[in-house]
Chain A
Amino acid sequence: MSVAIEQYLSEQAAKTTLRFLTCGSVDDGKSTLIGRLLYDSKLIFEDQLAALEADSRRQGTQGEDIDFALLVDGLAAEREQGITIDVAYRFFATDRRKFVVADTPGHEQYTRNMATGASNAELAVILIDARKGILTQTRRHSFIASLFGIRHLVLAVNKMDLVAYDEKVFDDIVAQYRQFAAQLGDPEIVPIPMSALKGDNVTDASSHMSWYKGPTLLEHLETVQVDSDLLTAPFRMPVQWVNRPNLDFRGFSGTVAAGRVSPGDAVTVLPSGQRSKVARVVTFEGDLKEALPGQAVTLLLEDEIDISRGDVLAAAQAPPQASDQLGVHLLWMDEQPMFPGRQYYLKTGTRTLPCVVTELKHLVNVNTLETQPAKSLSLNEVGVANVSLSDRVAFDPYQEGRELGSFILIDRQSNATVGAGLFDYSLRRADNIHWQALTVDKAHRASLKHQKPCVIWMTGLSGSGKSTIANLLESRLSDMSRHTYVLDGDNVRHGLNRDLGFTEADRVENIRRVGETAALMTDAGLITIVSFISPFRSERRMVRDRLENGEFIEVFVDTPLDVCEQRDPKGLYQRARAGEISNFTGIDSEYQPPEEPEIHIDTVALSPTQAVERILEFLRQNGKLREM
């Protein structure tokens, strides 16, 4: 018995795995196709089959026949609505190969789900309803698959039974598709006429289409060569964890992202650029002579150099580039749109760091592939943008390597994954701009004035009393011979920011510019008082991060909305209520109060003079006002 099992296990071991994606819309029969593959490859157990038969009678759309779609559509909401709204992963195997199927929804509002499935897939099966031919969605699915690096496409022309298995219908669709696909960089396309419902050309050759001489879908999936270039690519390994069981062992644990690595290989550490040689490739089973792509190992180097999580070890003769300014493709995945200037966390490889999308060049219409100008990127939109990172990171262009070419963006407030991106190229600005090493620096300028520069950032609703307090504070500081400057919402909007309106995107840009101005003034050694509504936490945080520790002093001028509205010094609330002004903070635009301001001023309890005293006290306690 054991001999038979040994043989079975070694046969299993020799099998390769194909990861593929199915894309198509609700009515194209995608779930039916996957259900059919699972069923025909005997991956459905008897109890599941019994449940399926019961479900089919209760909810199915196939009368007394089995509704295969019910097998695949997992979540209760999906079963009720009869649609696939998320990504589901299915596993099945044949005698020749093992398969992981990512089943993803087809509607435009689920583009992000499809991209998720595509990110780890080697092949995409694109379903087309033979009665309808190539639709907008076909182009969208093909574009997303191709953008995310899938080079092998199967054009599954389904429901051939409903067009009387007509060869001409099939040929016309294929010809039309090939013409379109030329724009996608020439992927491999294998068209197959089929009926998932009836089982034609899925696992068994159809008896209705003798004119078709090609493989069935399963035959193609079993034999298609998707050899990646990973084996021959230069070595890459992002460091996940520094392994230090004792003082004599300092290893770098990670998964080989590309290429191979052996003891003696010269490696470069990115982004630092330090070099060393691999001493050992350590695993639980013992040291390896060579590690392959995808293998999880721990590397020891010959030299003691400073390496931490997030760094990349790479072949010294062909290292990746490192940059902090990159041109990217970006797919937005969050309900809240992306605005240039807003800060996010970017995760690439094992590195997470702050990032700003500095410029949105254009968005790509996923249906027509046309580009169009845009100021923001909404859910499921794809854009071409520039990003600026807080530090240099190692990267490969996505089309050369997925592992070092991909990144996600994370919202700094909610921690949600909001964007998925592909690195295209380095803008190389980082390499060209060298800061002038000035002998007169910030510390020197500030010492001339016997003060420590800082930004006193007052945030609060319109009419909360920010300007009153700011002006009073400036005159008190001026009396003390301190050098100050006030940046006020109104005066800046008349000049520097006259081109900006009050949309969310413009508000983000407004604060970004004011933050940059305040940063320059800080560099000049001044105490800068900023009086801006600045309603969004993320922008205030962006300015805080732009400055050095302790330089940003957030003052929350806290006045209840009804009090502001009563005061209404400029009559703005009245106009907003009358609908004459839109996007007015507190009325039809959100104000996000600070979570931990340095100073919290309750204007109902404190007079402006008392508020100023409170701020001065804070400045004294924090060493901002040295004795002269």
Chain B
Amino acid sequence: MQVGSNCGPNHYPESVVSQTLTHLQRLEAESIYIIREVLAEAENPVMLYSIGKDSSVMLHLAMKAFYPSKPPFPLLHVDTTWKFREMIEFRDNLAKDLGIDLIVHINQDGVEQGVGPFTHGASLHTDIMKTQSLKQALDKYGFDAAFGGARRDEEKSRAKERVFSFRNAQHRWDPKNQRPELWHLYNGRVRSGESMRVFPLSNWTELDIWQYIYQENIPIVPLYLAKKRPVVEREGMLLMVDDERLPLAPGETPEMRTVRFRTLGCYPLTGAVESDASDLPGIIEEMLVSRTSERQGRAIDHDTAASMEKKKQEGYF
């Protein structure tokens, strides 16, 4: 599949087109407006690309926003070195196909210290290889605006974050001192050293994302689709044995189960769900009966209710 191919299913019912925008059209237009606004106001913007489904949608929207021009900013992937192998392969192919600059940043300090989720624990690993690494990359290239694919329906503290989220020179988010956002008038002004995190998908829900991917034929990492994969079960989470770095407990043997992922991150921190949804309609159908939110598959969110808010204040995306 190619981004931008017009071979997708029928776009919108005729009668609707002539009257008013559909729900997805409205979301799409709103996101494109935000993306263009950042380009116009920021000096050196970058798009954070996590390879996940939300990033894929965000990138697709950027392709639309500037057509027939290419998105006039690079993509940045913060690689923790523990991503699924299929993600990395997908990332490199996509950047090549679209002809967009891709910057891959790895926290070399962390690599030298041998930081990983098994040796250092999920929180420390995430902090060093993701949060600190992201700050390193933003500082290194002097980006003053970074797009992220976060949505307000993901988590409670995100529901209150602005579309244009101001960060001070230390990349900190201050939830009590956010700029009011009225109408569509976003204030992207920053002083030297300060920056903006911008969330064009703020108003999308997980279901919107999947419907849009289906409607637009947006390529996604195959890990989202059900397939027989080698997994081990730990503390209620199904972990995929993606490479030999996953230490097996005595007597623990990977078994082949039909699973898929609702969210993608570091493979040792991302739980799979048992599922038969091997294509997009299957996923959408599963979504409609699903009673578990997607972040349940993420180990780092399970601490306290305020954990995400705390992480965000420290500079996590």
Residues of A within 8 A of B (CB): 1-2, 4-6, 8-10, 12-17, 45-48, 51, 55, 74-77, 79, 85-91, 98, 100, 112-113, 115-116, 119-120, 231, 240-241, 243-245, 249, 253-255, 282-286, 292-296, 298, 309, 333, 345, 347-348, 350, 402-403, 406-408, 410, 415-417, 420
Contact = CB atoms under 8 A, between A and B. Distances in A.
22 contacts: A1-B281, A5-B281, A5-B284, A5-B285, A9-B9, A9-B214, A12-B23, A15-B23, A45-B291, A45-B292, A45-B296, A47-B296, A51-B305, A76-B157, A89-B159, A91-B153, A113-B180, A115-B180, A240-B37, A283-B64, A294-B29, A296-B28
Given A74-B159, A87-B160, A406-B183, 4 more contacts: A254-B36, A296-B29, A408-B182, A410-B189
A345 B41 CA distance: 14
Given A1-B282, A283-B67, A350-B40, A77 B183 contact: no
B6 interface: yes
A116 B181 contact: yes
Nearest to A349: B185
B176 A8 contact: no
Contact of B179 (A113, A286, A416): A416
Given A350-B40, A417-B179, A74 B68 contact: no
Contacts of B282: 1
Given A13-B23, A45-B291, A241 B285 contact: no
DSSP class of A's interface residues: helix, strand, loop or mixed?
A: mixed
B9 A6 contact: yes
B217 interface: no
A10 B178 contact: no
A536 B136 CA distance: 36
A47 B292 contact: yes
Nearest to B288: A8
B159 A90 contact: yes
A255 B22 contact: no
Given A88-B159, A91-B205, A403-B184, A17 B23 contact: yes
B22 A415 contact: no
A2 B12 CA distance: 16
Contact of B305 (A13, A79, A283, A285): A79
Interface centre among A9, A15, A294 (most CB of B within 10 A): A9
A544 B114 CA distance: 55
A119 B292 contact: no
B2 interface: no
A88 B9 CA distance: 34
A240 B40 contact: yes
- By Cβ-Cβ distance, the 9 closest A-B pairs, closest first, are A74-B156, A76-B306, A45-B293, A5-B281, A296-B32, A119-B182, A284-B64, A415-B189, A245-B69
B314 to A, nearest CB: 14
A6 B8 CA distance: 12
A254 B40 CA distance: 11
Interface stretch (B13-21, B85-93, B98-106, B218-226): B13-21
B66 interface: yes
Given A14-B13, A245-B69, A295 B25 contact: yes
Given A13-B22, A75-B309, A333-B180, A295 B13 contact: no
Contacts of A245: 68-70
Contacts of B272: none
B23 A255 contact: no
Contacts of A408: 180, 182, 185, 187
Contact of A285 (B11, B32, B37, B296): B11
B26 interface: yes
B213 to A, nearest CB: 12
B183 A89 contact: no
A65 B119 CA distance: 42
Interface string B279-304: 00110110010111100100000000
Contact of B16 (A4, A13, A255): A13
Contacts of B291: 45-46
B284 A8 contact: yes
A293 B30 CA distance: 12
B51 interface: no
Contacts of B20: 16, 231, 292
Nearest to B295: A47
A225 B9 CA distance: 31
A15 B10 CA distance: 17
Contacts of A17: 23, 26
Given A75-B309, A116-B180, A284 B187 contact: no
